[in-house]
Structure 1
Amino acid sequence: MAAGLLAHEVADLCLGKPPLKSLSISATVADALAALKASDDYCISVWSCDHSNSIKKSSSSSSSSSFNNVNNEEDCICVGKICMVDIICYLCKEENLCCPSFALQSPVSALLSKVPAALVRHVEPSSSIVEAIDLMLQGAQNLVIPIESRIIETSKRKLLQKSASITPTIHNGREFCWLTQEDVIRFLLNSIGVFSPLAALSIERLGIISPEFVATRYHSRAWSAIEAIEQALTDQTSVAVVDDDGILVGEISPFTLACCNETVAAAITTLSASDLMAYIDCGGPPEDIVRVVIARLKERNLEGMSKELMTNSPNIPSNSPSSDEEFSSPTATTSRLGRYGRSNSYSARMTRRAEAIVCHPGSSLVAVMIQAIARCVNYVWVIEEDGSVVGIVTFSNILEVFREYI
């Protein structure tokens, strides 16, 4: 029965999905930033296309044959994806801190240089779910699939071609959506009874707790965790923030950072990991900690980043005085940051949207799946009773279990 379920076509999981919003590979980082701010999506697809040739080809071919081979149309292909975290990490680079406005004019390809191309794969709508799972286990995060019911009329294609837009959604006369690990996990969860008694087994018994994860110390500089954040983004996990005893205090999650704007780069550059957690927590950064960030940027002569933060932060009133004098002394800075100490920051993380999602080694597979789906993340931290980190369970770990079951 399980094998029959996973033999369904991936097109079945695409019903009702909105078409992808996309960005041309010729766009700039600023274009990518604007597109992300205008979109409700976590990330945006990047395409390498010659739309003039694509539209000519599409208009001269019949719609009945438009779905024969996705990968053969090499003149229009999705080459990657961009999210806000990519831009934030890019702005945190040493060479971009002094002049973020100049860095935003770089080509969007600069954001893709460290992203494995295999993270995005084109897939036929007729491919089976088990084939999709195999691709995901090979490293694919997003499967690009044509929406068969959305064949664009020639007149509409011409109209879209004339309108200048950095986010074209039409490629070779078609629209696409993409399938993620979360989509597949939701599908499996909705049919979890088929996989009995697998779902009731503990994650420890199933052997899917991975001891390998990225972490940073609570009092470490957030900037030192940039590579860890980039790695967590690629792995679709998070950066554990631990104390000296290995107790999980919180996390720096790419999923949370993706909901912020580009000014978080300033916070990462100047704050500790603990204060960064307070900065990105639900509700937006507190005004006083934003002022601390601005003061520290000025101390380092990062005026460009400081102006960017003042311009784009809704928590700083436009008529507020300069904080140079107010935060010029280390004592003033420490007192202002005092309320973001370990205990308060930890309690905030345990009650707000940005809290770390945790389970225990004895938690059942289905319970972990529900936790992750409910919080829209691809992982769950595994901790002991004392709060020490055992490891992490990811959607990839879970998909491996279901793949072996059939």
Structure 2
Amino acid sequence: MAVQLLAYEVADLCLGKPPLRSLSASATVGDALAALKSSDENFISVWSCDHHSSKRNLECVCVGKVCIVDVICYLCREENLGSPALALKSPVSVLLSNVKGLVAHVEPSSSLLEAIDLILQGAQNLVVPIKTNSKRKQLPKSSSPTSSISPTIHNGEEFCWLTQEDIIRFLLSSIGLFSPIPTLSIDTLGLISDDYLVVDYHSPASSAIEAISRSLLDQTSVAVVDSEGILIGEISPFTLACWDETVAAAIMTLSAGDLMAYIDCGGPPEEVVRVVEERLKDKNLHGMLEELLNCPYDVELLSPTTPLSRSWCSRCSSYSARMVRGAEAIVCHRWSSLVAVMIQAITHRVNYVWVIEDDSTVVGVVTFANILEVFRDNLESMI
């Protein structure tokens, strides 16, 4: 049975995966925003294609991925606060992380062990070629960067990508092969990391911008705690990604605690939205206020006289088709078993689970990356 598990290839994990939707590396931040808002997916792949290259394997390469959180953090930069519209005209390359290797191309014949190794080396997404639907056609070279709402074809092939979650799901389906490891506690297995991101409940949300960016890279979240270290909730990139660029205004004006209320499932309270509007004016961030209300990249163009609260609430409801999780953190305890934590994370579509004491103080965090290290060591022993 163990030998059979080791025989699985990347192609086996790709069964049923949808083709990637892509964006050209020559696109702008605004193009990326429009593509994300017209998609049910939280991430869009970015491709660099050189159709004049003599080397076929260098013609089309996925160079990264972007999500709305990237746009939000970019708009929160000091140099972009005065004119978000101008910032949206910047090349999409400004959103791509300086950390290389977040995406990696792999062959369908690559082994499960090779896939896990790439992820443990830092790759968040493995780009895999899949069989092309013959009914689809290659987009003409003159197509707009935002016209790729349907899957695009590169070098005659379509691609999907695998994530940490995909591999964890696959391992969970064969969890019995790893007995007794799945029943051991996360503390016994040494899976609790004390390297986590945290912000005080009363601190300005703007003080957490760097932490939000890092949590997106680490595929974790930012814990929101009180003065005694009690876990109150979290600011999750996954939740932020279900909103739109107007959250940048909330980040620049609210406390961390109020931001949690703002992004929580169901939409922001009217009184919080009014506070954001007034504080934008007090901070002389009229450019952000006006430009976001009239953003040319928005799905619905808004009138300058549209009340801020009504416009933002309508945007929130437009994302109801996506799975939106609120600001409540997913937690476990030191004695929680590995398999229980895996099921928790997969059920809530997160790559991490917070570890707390009985009094709700934060102990640390367990991530999919930590869990994959345990399975990788065990798989190697099966060889």
TM-score range, shorter chain: 0.7 to 0.9
Alignment CA distance shift 1:223-1:162 (3 Å): closer
Do the aligned residues in 2 keep the contact of 1:48 with 1:78 (CA within 8 Å)?
yes
Quote the residue 1:61 is aligned against: none
Quote the residue 1:355 is aligned against: 328
Count of aligned positions: 357
Instruction: Give the deviation of 1:4 after TM superposition.
Output: 3.2
Quote the residue 1:42 is aligned against: 42
d(CA) in 1 for partners of 2:144 and 2:294?
A: 28
Quote the residue 1:286 is aligned against: 269
Instruction: Give the deviation of 1:182 after TM superposition.
Output: 0.3
Instruction: Give the deviation of 1:284 after TM superposition.
Output: 1.7
Q: Structure 1 length normalisation: TM-score?
A: 0.83
- RMSD, matched Cα: 2.3
Quote the residue 1:341 is aligned against: none
Quote the residue 2:209 is aligned against: 226
Question: Over residues 210-243 of structure 1, what are the superposed CA-to-partner deviations in whole Å (9 max), with x where a residue is unaligned?
Answer: 0110101110000011111111110000001111
Task: Say whether 1:106 aligns with 2:79.
Answer: no
- Worse-matched range after superposition: 2-11 or 370-379: 2-11
d(CA) in 2 for partners of 1:93 and 1:170?
A: 35
Structure with the bigger percentage of helix: 1
d(CA) in 1 for partners of 2:147 and 2:333?
A: 43
Quote the residue 2:180 is aligned against: 197
Question: Over residues 381-404 of structure 1, what are the superposed CA-to-partner deviations in whole Å (9 max), with x where a residue is unaligned?
Answer: 000000000100000010001011
d(CA) in 1 for partners of 2:147 and 2:376?
A: 36
Structure 2 unaligned spans of 5+: 310-324
Letter in 2 for 1:359: C
Task: Say whether 1:392 aligns with 2:365.
Answer: yes
d(CA) in 2 for partners of 1:308 and 1:38?
A: 20
Q: From 218, 224, 245, give the equivalent of 1:241.
A: 224
Task: Say whether 1:76 aligns with 2:60.
Answer: yes
Do the aligned residues in 2 keep the contact of 1:251 with 1:356 (CA within 8 Å)?
yes
Letter in 2 for 1:398: I
Instruction: Give the deviation of 1:190 after TM superposition.
Output: 1.1
d(CA) in 2 for partners of 1:167 and 1:129?
A: 34
Task: Say whether 1:215 aligns with 2:215.
Answer: no
Alignment CA distance shift 1:43-1:7 (3 Å): same
Instruction: State the percentage of identical aligned residues.
Output: 67
Task: Say whether 1:402 aligns with 2:382.
Answer: no
Q: Structure 2 length normalisation: TM-score?
A: 0.88
Q: From 322, 328, 349, give the equivalent of 1:376.
A: 349
Instruction: Give the deviation of 1:120 after TM superposition.
Output: 0.4
Alignment CA distance shift 1:401-1:167 (3 Å): farther
Task: Say whether 1:25 aligns with 2:25.
Answer: yes
Letter in 2 for 1:17: K
Letter in 2 for 1:75: E
Do the aligned residues in 2 keep the contact of 1:137 with 1:400 (CA within 8 Å)?
yes
Do the aligned residues in 2 keep the contact of 1:152 with 1:173 (CA within 8 Å)?
no
Structural mapping, 1:140-179, within 5 Å: 140-147=123-130, 149-150=131-132, 152=134, 156-157=137-138, 160-161=140-141, 163-168=143-148, 169-179=152-162
Structural mapping, 1:4-15, within 5 Å: 4-15=4-15
Do the aligned residues in 1 keep the contact of 2:27 with 2:145 (CA within 8 Å)?
no
d(CA) in 2 for partners of 1:278 and 1:311?
A: 25
SS at match of 2:101: helix
Q: From 107, 112, 115, give the equivalent of 1:129.
A: 112
Letter in 2 for 1:176: F
Question: Over residues 242-272 of structure 1, what are the superposed CA-to-partner deviations in whole Å (9 max), with x where a residue is unaligned?
Answer: 1111111110011111111000000000000
Do the aligned residues in 2 keep the contact of 1:241 with 1:248 (CA within 8 Å)?
yes
d(CA) in 2 for partners of 1:205 and 1:121?
A: 33
